[in-house]
A = this chain, B = another copy of it.
Amino acid sequence: MHFRLTQTCLDGKARAGELTTPHGTVPTPVFLPVGSQATVKTLTPEELKEIGISMVLANTYHLYLRPGIGIIEKMGGLHKFMAWDRPILTDSGGYQIFSLAALRQISDEGILFRSHIDGSEHFITPELTIQLQETLGADIIMVLDECPAYDDSLEKVQRAMNRTHRWAERCLRARRCSDQALYAIVQGGVFSELRHQSAKYLTSLDSPGYAIGGLSIGEPKEMTLAMIEETVSLLPETKPRYLMGVGSPEDLVEGVARGIDIFDSALPTRVARNGALFTWQGRHNIKNAVYRQMDQPFAPGCDCYTCRTFSAAYLHHLFSCDELLGYRLATIHNLNFIHNLIQKIRATILDDSFSSFKDNFWASYQPTNEQTRLEQKRKWLDSRNLNQ
């Protein structure tokens, strides 16, 4: 059995469980740090383990372009290549093709795109993405999906959804390995009726897990939450639910409260490299002058390596000088924070106190301002398109 539910909250939808994979058991809810290019930026596998990370995400699109799937195969597969012996989930590459690659043509057959690195042309099909992911050898793999923009029309989103459904079927048929769990991805944008159709269709295919795609891509937060709620209500209780690309502290709490089991996001590691560190009060930037002379750790009482070892003033200094060690130490802090958060969430689900934990979280946590959040997201998406 791939997924076992351990506990469901009596007064809500939050649940705790366990994923069984060829590389070990993963307690859920779980957050996966993003290691697109077979490395969680700045960290070694040992550091991830010291934090307690049980599973990471890698990206088929990035690895297909560099170093090439054939190289990783020759090196003994993705686990061996990146020296990570715990579970891995690979994204199919769909989202990256739509957000990074250029000059694409989408047909029912597949996607024609140009590499964001060297402009070379590639054609990817549902069958190919399964073959690539089977070669990489991750524990959980994903179907190829078409990802519309959040402000696309209902008609456009519907066409993309229907294609995603046909591709999901082809992905399921193309499977050759039995030891990988292939998850389907519910699409449908911000349209309730489409989310319903998509969930209904995909659950009929009996996937071992279901992802919710196409959210947190620029739409207002209340819309994200509404779509999660609606979609989850249509998914089978016994299968894991994976909310793709979501990973701020507040989103984890709200996602779990709506029945999500698996999250991934580059946010904790990306904002860390910009100096933005998590605390139970919210996100604070270590570059702020207030830290210049602080001989206490950035977050007193925090049990991460960074806070146990260095003062906030030292971390501030490293960021002032653009020292690479600063990016590492900030990444360690943020992943440790997220891991502690997820652990607390799980513990309170198990002893049925999650809803008061959630209240306490919100009593102290000041989320990033919605307007700021959307601007940052847009800037980030723009910079990716410009730089890559």
Contact = CB atoms under 8 A, between A and B. Distances in A.
Given A75-B313, A314-B75, A321 B66 contact: yes
A271 B310 CA distance: 27
Contact of A314 (B81, B292, B305, B311): B81
Interface in A307-328: 309-311, 313-314, 316-318, 320-321, 323-325, 327-328
Q: Interface on chain A toward B: helix, strand, loop, or mixed SS?
A: loop
B83 A313 contact: no
Nearest to A295: B75
Given A295-B76, A313-B81, A324 B67 contact: no
**Oligomer: number of copies:** 2
A83 B293 CA distance: 16
Given A311-B81, A314-B81, A314-B82, A39 B74 contact: no
B41 A313 contact: no
B323 A71 contact: no
A43 B87 CA distance: 27
Interface string A327-341: 110000000000000
Contacts of A316: 67
Contacts of A314: 38, 75, 81-83
Contact of A71 (B37, B75, B292): B292
Contacts of A38: 314, 317
B324 A327 contact: yes
Contacts of A305: 44
A44 B325 contact: yes
A39 B83 contact: no
Contacts of A74: 293, 295, 313
A44 B304 CA distance: 14
A317 B41 contact: no
A99 to B, nearest CB: 18
22 contacts: A37-B321, A37-B323, A38-B314, A41-B323, A41-B324, A42-B324, A42-B325, A66-B320, A67-B292, A67-B316, A67-B317, A71-B293, A71-B317, A75-B311, A75-B313, A81-B311, A81-B317, A82-B314, A83-B309, A83-B314, A324-B327, A328-B328
